[in-house]
Structure 1
Amino acid sequence: MTEGDRPLIPAEASLSNADAVDGVESGGAVALVAVCGLPGVGKTTVAERIAGHVDGAVLRTDVVRKELFDEPEYSEAETETVYAELIRRARARVDAGSAVVLDATFANARFREDVREAGARVADAFALVEVVCDESVVERRIERRDGISDADFEIHLHFKELFDRIERDHVVVDNSGDEAATFAQVDTAFGGRAAVFGESTAGSDGSTGRDSGERRVESVDTERDSDGMSVASEHGVD
């Protein structure tokens, strides 16, 4: 399948115009979704919610890295290996007829292009979703979290400087609010027919140098703190 054959959705797509995508629903087209963003923003929760809509498995670089390397060094060569393996596994699953949601930082634009190309080759539909979150919220959640990731707030700030601008169409999930708002927005985007497929570049909070065409969706993690906010629990360094 070529990139031009994939279902495309306009930037302001919602459930009301989801019929523009024929068959992109659970039990229909096989989807590949890449969830990207800085460490600590809540990618895993968003990815898991999306996976429920597309009936897919979540593959995480945090997990792949620790399967490949007993003592990860997070070197450039190691990261190349991890992303190559992540995308290889995704391609194999999608090619076999199973939807996949990838949970990774994808800070390097080349990795995002690699997964986009994989989607064009083997998936019926592809979407890139960027998760963002207010920095103060990230810092608080990282202090409270417990999970497989090695990321801390300093790593979040480090990746903020390294994160390549997203030039291609994508959807943005703002994970600064509460869980209900997060899930409602993800459900609006992916519920029923997964209306976001096709990418959109929508307006960012400027935290990572994004452009202004992003489509916004909100999200947070699932463990709640005393203020009713969610506590981050498996945010990725990758």
Structure 2
Amino acid sequence: MLIIVMGLPGSGKSYFARRLAKQLGAVYVGSDELRRKMGLLGKYKIENRISVYNEMIKTSKELLIKGEDVVMDGTFYLQFMRDMAICMAKTLSFEVFIILVEAEDTLIGQRLSMPREDSEADLAVHYQIKGEFDPLSEPHLLIQSTNENLEENLEKAKHFLEKVN
């Protein structure tokens, strides 16, 4: 099973995705970690983003083939990025689930103003991606992130995955 956790920088998607992967016993594959490993920190040109997403998909494919469930974490703000991941999983006959994480703008601003271990994206990157975000047409679960509702959102996600299965 492939679970795509997506959303804007500062939405809480990475924090949520890591905890969801842990609770499900799945492998976490995050765009920020891969960007760091690839030496592309702070490099947000489209060709760099595509390289990171290609590596995420390659890594996830290898894990799925080995029998692992995978939680992919990234903005997935462009339709073709989502299509690449979905196509890879469906070609291999794996189920795909999408979880969109959103948060209030004021909370996103607070989160992005603090140093974070998982990303160097700032408010400028947030607004750039927000302006380019392709509408989500695939079936998905929408989660509203606050600083107090992680457990509730994890339960919603697990219920969504069970219900769809």
Pairing 1:195–2:162 present: yes
Structure 1 residue corresponding to 2:108, chosen from 138, 143, 160: 138
Q: Give the equivalent residue in structure 2 for 1:165.
A: 135
Structure-2 change in CA distance of 1:42 and 1:194 (3 Å) = same
Please state how far the C-alpha of 1:71 moved relative to its aligned partner.
5.5
Give percent identity, aligned residues only: 22
Please state how far the C-alpha of 1:67 moved relative to its aligned partner.
1.3
Distance 2:41 2:101 in 1: 28
Distance 2:111 2:162 in 1: 30
Please state how far the C-alpha of 1:146 moved relative to its aligned partner.
2.6
Cα RMSD after superposing both structures: 2.0
The runs of at least 4 consecutive aligned structure 1 residues that moved more than 6 Å come to none
Q: Give the equivalent residue in structure 1 for 2:60.
A: 90
Please state how far the C-alpha of 1:129 moved relative to its aligned partner.
0.7
- Corresponding letter in the other structure for 1:187: E
> Deviation per CA, 1:172-207, whole angstroms, max 9, x where unpaired?
1100351xx23223213315x832547xxxxxxxxx
Q: Give the equivalent residue in structure 1 for 2:29.
A: 59
Structure-2 change in CA distance of 1:135 and 1:148 (3 Å) = same
- Corresponding letter in the other structure for 1:62: D
Distance 1:89 1:111 in 2: 15
Local SS of the residue matching 1:33: strand
Local SS of the residue matching 1:101: strand
Structure 1 residue corresponding to 2:95, chosen from 94, 100, 125: 125
Show the 5 A alignment for 1:1-238.
31-69=1-39, 72-122=42-92, 124-178=94-148, 181-190=149-158, 194-195=161-162, 197=164
Distance 1:90 1:126 in 2: 12
Where does structure 1 lack aligned partners over 5 or more consecutive residues? 1-30, 199-238
Task: Please identify, of 166-175 and 118-127, the stretch whose mean Cα deviation from structure 2 is larger.
Answer: 118-127
Please state how far the C-alpha of 1:52 moved relative to its aligned partner.
2.6
Distance 1:138 1:34 in 2: 20
Distance 1:118 1:54 in 2: 21
- Structure with greater helix percent: 2
Q: Tell me which structure has the larger Cα radius of gyration.
A: 1
Q: How many residues align structurally?
A: 165
Distance 1:71 1:40 in 2: 16
Please state how far the C-alpha of 1:117 moved relative to its aligned partner.
1.2
Please state how far the C-alpha of 1:72 moved relative to its aligned partner.
4.8
> Deviation per CA, 1:141-190, whole angstroms, max 9, x where unpaired?
22233324111122212211011100111111100351xx2322321331
Distance 1:129 1:168 in 2: 10
Local SS of the residue matching 1:102: strand
Where does structure 2 lack aligned partners over 5 or more consecutive residues? none
Please state how far the C-alpha of 1:121 moved relative to its aligned partner.
2.5
